[in-house]
Amino acid sequence: MNDRLKQVFPYLLLVPAVLPLVYVSGILYPYVTPKTFLLQGSGALALAVFSYLALAGQAFFYARLREPATWIPAALLSVAYVASLSGTDFYHSFWGLLERGDGLLTLTVITVSFYLILLYAPTPSGVGVPTISVGTDRKFLERLIKTITVVAGIVAGIAVLQWVTLVLGGRAWFLPPITGRIGSTLGNAAFLAGYLGMALFVALVALRDANRLWRRIGTTTVALSVLAILLAATRGTILALLVAGVVALAFLGWKGVGEWRRYARYGFAALVVIAGLFFVFRTELANAPFEPVRRIAQISLSEGTVSSRLFVWSHIAEEALERPFSGYGAEHIARIFDTVYDPGKIVEQWFDRSHNAFLDYFAQYGIFGLALYLALIGAFALYARRLDVIFLLLILTYALQNFFVFDTPASLWLLYALFALLIVRSEEPVTPVSLKPRPPLIAGAVAGLIALVIIPTVVLPLYANILLTRGYLYHLIDVNRANASFERGLALGTYADLEYGYQAYSMYTDHQAIQLSGEDRVAAYSYALATLTKNFEAYPYDARTATYLGHVLDTAPPEIAVDDVFDQQVLSRAIELSPLRAQAWYMMANIALRKADALPQGDRGKEQYFREAIAVLEEYAQKEATLSVPRYILASLYYKLGDTITAKKWADEAFPLYTHFDVAAAQPAVKYYLAIGDWRRAVRFLTDLVDNDPSDYDVLYDLAKVTYLAGDPAAAVRIVEQLRSSNPAILGTDQNFLNAITAYEQSQK
C-alpha cells in the first residue's frame, strides 16, 4: 500500500500543471469550472495521500519549514481567512462564484500544494541544475519543469491554430470555440497571456538545461508562446514582456561577456529605434490591421478600456481605504464596484475584479494581505536573483502584468509551485525526516476523511453545474422539464445558487419572456422569481441579484399581478447598493407607468402616475449628468402631459450627450422626435437602430418614411428598393407613403 501511494503521490502533485489543457464542453463555463474542480479534487487527494504516508512513517523534508520565506503563503492564507471572517460574507468568500471558483477554498488548495511540493521534492545536486541526485524521486523537479513546458507549448499551439482558423474564416471542430479574442483552452485572452507570460520562462529553463530533444521542445514552446501572446493582443502581458526584454538586454550589455554582450547591445539599440518609430507613427499604427499593434498604439488615458480601468482603480482604492486593515473579504470586489459604478464613466456592467492584482489583495485582505503578497513576490525575486536570472525575469513579468490583470488558479498555482522549486534548489542538501509511525487504521481513517472532502467541494458543485446546463438545454422547448432539473440542482445546497439566479434571469428576460406565452411563460417566470427572491434574501449585499430580480418583476407575464410593494423594496435595495446604476431607476419609474397604463384613456389619475415616474427620473438625472437616456424618457413623458417647453428642455439636454449608439436612448428619442416632427433628428436615431439590427424591417421602413419627410427622397428610394428585395409585403402597410415614393420614382425617369 505504501509503495503504491509513494508512486502515485508525485503525479498528484503534477496534476495542476496539466490543468491549463482541460476544456470540457457540455457544462457551464467549460473553460474554467473543470479546471477548478480538478484542481480542488487533486489537491484533496494529494493531501490525503500525504497524510497517510506521513502518519505511516514516510520521510519528508520537514526541516525546510525553518526557512522564513516558506511561511509567507501560510501567513497570506491566514490573513485571507481572518479578513473574510470579518468581511461581508464568509460563505461567499470561501466558495467564490461557480463562474471561476476563485475563493478561499481554491487559495487553500494552492497553498497546500505549495507545501506538499516543498516537503516532498528532493534536493538538487547543484544550484541552477534541475537534475536531481538524491532522494527517492530524483527527477521530480525536472519532471515539473518539463510538464509545464509541454503543457504551455500545447496551449500556445492551440491558440495559434485558433487564430489561423479565425483568419481563414472557418472553425475547426477539434478546437475550443472562440469568444472575442483567442483564448485557447483558457477561454480568455488575458488568462491565456497571463499564463503563457510565466510559462514562457519555464520553457527557457528547460531549453537551456536540456538535451537535444528537449531543446527542440523548449524552442517550440518558446516560439509558440511568444506568438500566442502577440496574437492574443493582451497589452499588459506584451508590455511586461517588453520591459523584461529590455532589462535582460541591458543586463547582458552591461555584465555579459563576449558575443552575448555585443548582441545584447545591438538588441537594446534596435529596441530603442523601434520604440521611437512606434511613437512617431503611432497614429497610423492605431488603425493597423494587426490587432496587437493596433491595441498597443491605441493606449491613451482617453481610450475606452484604459479610462475604464483608471476609473475602477481610483474608485475601488478609495473604497478600500475605508477598511484598510480588515478588507472586505475574499470575492467581494463586486460589492465595492457596484457602490462606485457610474454608467457614464465605464462600459462594463459587472466587475468582480479590479483588473489589478495588487489592488485586489488590498481591497479583499487589507494592508496585511497586500504586504504579504508583495513579500511573496519579493522573496521569489530574491531566490531567483541568487539562483537563476530567468526566474528573475519571470517574476518581473508576473508582477508587471498583474498590474493590469488578475491571477487565475492556473497562474497562481504556477507562481506557488515555482516558488517551492526555487526554495528547494537554493538549499544545501538536507536529510528527510519521518514522524512516529501510526497504525495503518488511523492513517487510513485520516486520509479517508480528507478524501471525503471531495464530495461537497467537487462532486456536488459539478453535478449542480451539469443539472443547470441540462435545464438550460430545455428552457425553451420544455419549461417544466427544465425547471425540474433546476430544482434538483438547487436542492444539492451548493454555492451554485447565485449562479442559478443569474442564469434564471438571463434565460427568462433574454429568451423565455419573449418567445414563450401562456402557462409556459408563467412557469418560467415563477421559477426565476422564486430563485432570485431566495437569493435576494440570502445575499442582501448583492446588487446584481436585486437588479435582476427587479427586471424579472418588470417583465412579468400579463396574467400575473406584480406585488408593487415588494418590487419597490427590491429596487430600493438595488439603488442603495449601486446608486448610479440606471436600470433600477428606470424600473422604479415603470411601477408608476404600469399603473398609468392600467387606467382607461382620459382618466385623470394617469397624470398623477406620470408625475411619480417623472420625479424618479428627474432625481436620477440630477445624480447622473452624463446620460441621455433618462432625459429622452423625461422628454417623452412631458410631451404626453402636454408640457412641450419642459419636454424640449430635456431633449435639448439629451442630444449632445448622445455620443455613441445606445438603444435605450435611441428608442425614446425616436418617439419624441417623431411626435414633434423633427424629421432630421429622427433620421439620426433611426439610422442607429437600423445599423444595430438590419433585420428589423419595421424600423427600416420607418427610416425610409422619415428620410422622405426630412427632404431626402433619393435616400428613401434606396431603402424602399432594399425592402422590395428583402420584405416587399411591408411596403403595403402604408399606402400613402408608397404612393408618394412611387410618384417620386416616376418623376425621376
Which tens digit of pLDDT belongs to each residue from 165-188?
Answer: 888 877 777 788 887 788 899 988
Question: Taking the C-alpha atoms of 611, 615, 620 and 623 in order, what is their torsion angle to the nearest 10 degrees?
Answer: 140
* % of residues, the chain, pLDDT over 70: 93
CA dihedral 629, 632, 633, 639 (to 10 degrees): 180
φ, ψ for residue 59 (rounded to 5)? -80, 140
Mean pLDDT in residue range 59-80: 94
316 and 364 Cβ atoms separated by less than 8 Å:
no
**pLDDT of 130 strictly over 50:** no
Inter-residue contact 102 to 409 (CB < 8 Å): yes
Name the amino acid, one letter, at 563.
Answer: D
Q: How many helices (H) and strands (E) does the chain have?
A: 35, 2
Provide the sign of the torsion angle of the four alpha carbons 188, 190, 192, 195, taken in this order. Answer: negative
Report the distance separating Cα 303 and Cα 315, nearest Å. 18
Residues of the chain above pLDDT 90, percent: 58
pLDDT at residue 212, as a whole number: 78
pLDDT attached to residue 728: 86
Q: For the chain, what is the radius of gyration of the CA atoms?
A: 30
pLDDT of residue 655: 93
Per-residue H/E/C for 66-131: HCHHHHHHHHHHHHHHHHHHCCCCHHHHHHCCCCCCCCHHHHHHHHHHHHHHHHHCCCECCCCCCC
Rounded to whole angstroms, the Cα distance separating 289 from 574 reads 42
Q: Give which of 356, 393, 57 is closest to 243, Cα–Cα.
A: 393
Q: Which three cell numbers stand for residue 261?
A: 554582450
| pLDDT of 328 strictly over 80 | yes
Determine contact, residues 185/195, Cβ cutoff 8 Å.
no
What are the phi and psi torsion angles at 124 (to 5°)?
A: -70, 160
Q: How far apart are CA 171 and CA 162, in angstroms?
A: 8
Nearest by Cα to 444 from 57, 4, 1, 52: 52
354: its cell numbers: 479590479
Q: Which cell numbers in the block locate residue 744?
A: 417620386
Q: Which of 15, 50, 42, 16 is nearest to 120 (CA)?
A: 50
Long-range contacts, stretch 620-624, CB < 8 angstroms, 24+ apart: 620/582, 620/585, 621/650, 623/579, 623/580, 624/342, 624/343, 624/344, 624/580, 624/582
- What does the alpha-carbon distance between residue 526 and residue 503 come to, in Å, rounded to a whole number? 14
CA distance 185 to 192: 8
| Average pLDDT of span 68-96 | 95
Query: 263, 245, 243, 241: which is closest to 253 by C-alpha?
Result: 263
E-only strand ranges, 237-293: none
- The distance from CA 345 to its chain's CA centroid, rounded to whole angstroms, is 19
What is the predicted pLDDT for the residue at 302?
Answer: 59
* Secondary structure (3-state) at 607: helix
Whole-angstrom distance, CA of residue 249 vs CA of residue 268: 6
Cα gap 254→167, rounded to integer Å: 42
How much is the average pLDDT of 79-99?
Answer: 93
Residue that is written with C-alpha cell 490543468 in the block: 19
Tell me the C-alpha distance between 603 and 42, whole Å.
Answer: 68
User: Nearest-CA neighbor of 434 among 723, 54, 95?
Assistant: 54
Strands 59-60 and 433-434, by their bridges, are: antiparallel
pLDDT band of 749, cuts 50, 70, 90? low
- 549 has a pLDDT exceeding 90: yes
Query: DSSP assignment of 148-197, as one string?
Result: HHHHHHHHHHHHHHHHHHHHTT---TTSPPP-SS--GGGTSHHHHHHHHH
Q: What pTM does this model have?
A: 0.89
Given the C-alpha cell 399606402, which residue does it identify? Answer: 735
AA identity, residue 513: A
392-395, Cβ contacts within 8 angstroms, sequence gap of 24 or more: 393/201, 393/244, 393/247, 393/248, 394/198, 394/201, 394/202, 394/418
Tell me what pLDDT residue 126 has. 42
Tell me what pLDDT residue 137 has: 57
Phi, psi angles (nearest 5°) of residue 462: -65, -40
- Give the pLDDT of residue 406: 81
* DSSP reduced 3-state for 59: strand
> CA 663 to CA 659: how far, in whole Å?
12
Find the range with the poorest average confidence among 148-157, 434-443, 649-658. Answer: 434-443
Confidence of residue 553 (pLDDT cuts 50, 70, 90): very high
Averaged confidence pLDDT in the chain? 88
Over residues 362-390, mean pLDDT: 94
pLDDT band of residue 257 (cuts 50, 70, 90) is low
Residue 154 pLDDT class (50, 70, 90 cuts): very high
On whether the CB atoms of residues 124 and 425 are closer than 8 A, the answer is yes
First-to-last C-alpha distance (Å) of the chain: 95
Give the type of residue at 413.
W
Residue 326 CB neighbour total at 10 angstroms: 18
pLDDT of residue 298: 65
CA dist 570 and 610 (Å) reads 21
Neighbouring residues of 384: CB distance < 8 A, sequence distance ≥ 6: 390, 391, 392, 394, 395, 422
State yes or no: pLDDT of 233 exceeds 90: no
**355 and 309 in contact (C-beta within 8 Å)?**
yes
Task: Please compute the mean of the pLDDT values over residues 475-496 and round it to a whole number.
Answer: 95
Residues 6 or more apart whose Cβ sits within 8 Å of residue 652:
none
Quickly state the pLDDT bin for 433 (edges 50, 70, 90). confident
pLDDT, position 132 = 34
